[in-house]
Amino acid sequence: MSEVGSGYSRRRGDRFIQTIEWLAAVFVAIVTVDTFVSVLLRYFFAWQIPDSFDVGRMLLGILIFWGIAATSFRGTHITVDLVWSIVGPRWKRYIDVFATLVLLFVITVHTLTLVDKVRTTYSDNVETFDLHMPVWPFFLVAWLGDVSAVLVIALRTYRLIFHPEMLAPSRPQPVE
């Protein structure tokens, strides 16, 4: 592959990752505003937004799935580095590739199982209690976050295996 092609491919992948991170940040803001407004209305006016609990719960689910997508590429999620920290650079790479493949498998299986949840929620016409809003669009947006996580983890796996120089160090290097 030429330098131009690989540069374009890298920019496209990086733009995709930045878009996912931006969407995750938007969902954080939405959940924060929803929670803040709900608490203010309840505390000062003894009134609550209809379906605020259900909507807030579903928004939190959306946030979690998009957050998984946002953290998966950078490797900034919670890790246990007991073995990783004592081995050499070659074994660190092997551990990173193995861990990323396991993560890819788990999130892919999770994404496939969520398809059924979105489908059954739609076909069963599940609605919120107060406003009778359909629930399936929230589930669909959460599922799209899971799909994005699979794509991002696949991109990370590809780069770990074939182009490790394209990844910024995901973990702080120990001082020797």
3-state secondary structure at position 159 = helix
Determine the residue type at 171.
Answer: R
Cβ contact 140:80 at 8 Å: no
Count CB neighbours of 66 within 10 A. 26
Cβ contact 111:146 at 8 Å: yes
Q: Is the model's pTM score more than 0.85?
A: no
pLDDT digits (tens, 9 = 90+) for 2-51: 444 456 666 888 888 899 989 989 999 999 999 999 999 999 999 998 99
pLDDT digits (tens, 9 = 90+) for 108-166: 999 999 999 999 999 999 999 999 999 999 999 999 999 999 999 999 999 899 988 87
Which element (helix H / strand E) includes 92? helix 89-123
- Judged on CB neighbours under 10 Å (0-12, 13-18, 19+), 157 is middle
Choose among 36, 92, 82, 72: nearest CA to 151: 72
